[in-house]
């Protein structure tokens, strides 16, 4: 594997790991808030679609729902609480 790609993957894993404060507060808050609004609007319907899809097995459904949940956690971790702004 290319060492640069491996280093980038390791950096990304650490930078966006839950609880990691490497980029805490450095994300454009308007962007994060927009993603949160989009996720709140779209994910309930997406998860219902996943549950109803007869072509997906249980493991595939859990993977897709887990990915959606991780997206929400990443957004929540990027949002700076109002008292810290």
What is the pTM assigned to this prediction? 0.60
- The whole-angstrom distance between residue 79's C-alpha and the CA centroid of its chain comes to 12
Instruction: Report CA dihedral (39, 42, 46, 47) to the nearest 10 degrees.
Output: 50
DSSP conformational letter for 28: -
DSSP conformational letter for 19: T
For 79, list phi and psi in degrees, rounded to 5: -75, 130
pLDDT digits (tens, 9 = 90+) for 20-78: 545 555 678 999 999 999 999 999 999 999 999 999 999 999 999 999 999 999 999 99
Please say whether the beta carbons of 51 and 61 come within 8 A. yes
In the structure encoding, which two tokens stand for residue 72, read together? Answer: 């929400």
Q: At what angle do helices 29-52 and 58-78 cross, to 10 degrees?
A: 170
């Amino acid at each position: 594997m290319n060492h640069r790609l491996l280093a980038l993957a390791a950096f990304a894993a650490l930078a966006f790991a839950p609880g990691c404060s490497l980029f805490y507060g450095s994300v454009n808050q308007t962007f994060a808030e927009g993603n949160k609004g989009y996720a709140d609007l779209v994910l309930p319907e997406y998860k219902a679609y996943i549950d109803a899809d007869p072509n997906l097995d249980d493991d595939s459904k859990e993977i897709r729902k887990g990915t959606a949940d991780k997206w929400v956690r990443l957004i929540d971790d990027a949002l700076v609480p109002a008292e810290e702004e």
